[in-house]
Chains A and B, each alone.
Chain A
Amino acid sequence: MIKFLIKIIFFYYREYKLNLSGFQDILTNIIFFFVSIFIFIFSIGPDKDTISVVGVGILWTLLLLSSTLSLRKFYQDDFENGNLVIMHLNGFSFGFIAILKTLSNFLFVQIPFLLSIPIACILLNIANDKIIYLITSFGISSFILSCLGSISSSMNLMNQRNFLLGSLIVMVFSIPIIIFSVGIINMEESFNSLINILFGILLIVFAINPWASGLCLKLSLENK
């Protein structure tokens, strides 16, 4: 058991090293996010109240689009260079690899967005008291996005010709997440019930993810 835990720790050490060496990819995602915010601000105009009203919607749309940018690399590199097989031979089932990679995506891709939300809120004139709601809802929703990303990326390994299909799946399934997440900010009195719904969605997607992604990984390696 301890040996297995140490293996997991060094799996994350490997992910950390890889993400550190590809830090420019993470930075590009964040820059895309902020540049897109500026474009929205310039296109809406200087009216603070309008920006404030549509700000949360803009923020969520851009968070979603920015996080789908990195989906292509979710499994692709490890699939191409055979590291998925090596991880499997090292005692990790495909389903467990999916869980580990999902957590890795959350830590190294979604957390930087989470940290940049306060700055984005200032740019979009979102009230300070709403920032905490936004961060809480994004904390849960971004993990849901990581799970959906894992499923769509593993499906994409079997369909190398059409990457957009995977992004499309994530975007379609993220519609309820956006509805509830934006609802949390606009209906503060229903915070608890909406956060519970989001948490429920997270549990469902988290349960499906290892099964669906693991199967797709296995099938894609079989047909490689």
Chain B
Amino acid sequence: MYNENTEHTGHTEKEHSVGYGTYVLIWLVLVGLTVTTVSISGINLGNISLAVALLIATVKSAFVINIFMHIKFEDKIFRVFIAIALMTLLSVFVLTAFDVFFR
């Protein structure tokens, strides 16, 4: 599915380009997940419905970041930076949630 030509012609991995087909496939997956999350929201799942909705949103984000934003094919340092940024954000959320719960 990926265009491998660039690697054989001596270009670096940085210039590795993704084929049109891959993007369309990811788009179909994203639309499918959107339909799924809307359908699931109609079912009463009680307390876990928020968790399910956020899980689906996270999976969608992972596809957007890795494929559309090309992070899967970029230098590893980008992944490290993103991981640190997201972990920082997550810890702020967790700490704040504790504060709200046990106030």
A and B part of one assembly = no
Interface residues, chain A, with chain B CB atoms under 8 Å away: none
Interface residues, chain B, with chain A CB atoms under 8 Å away: none
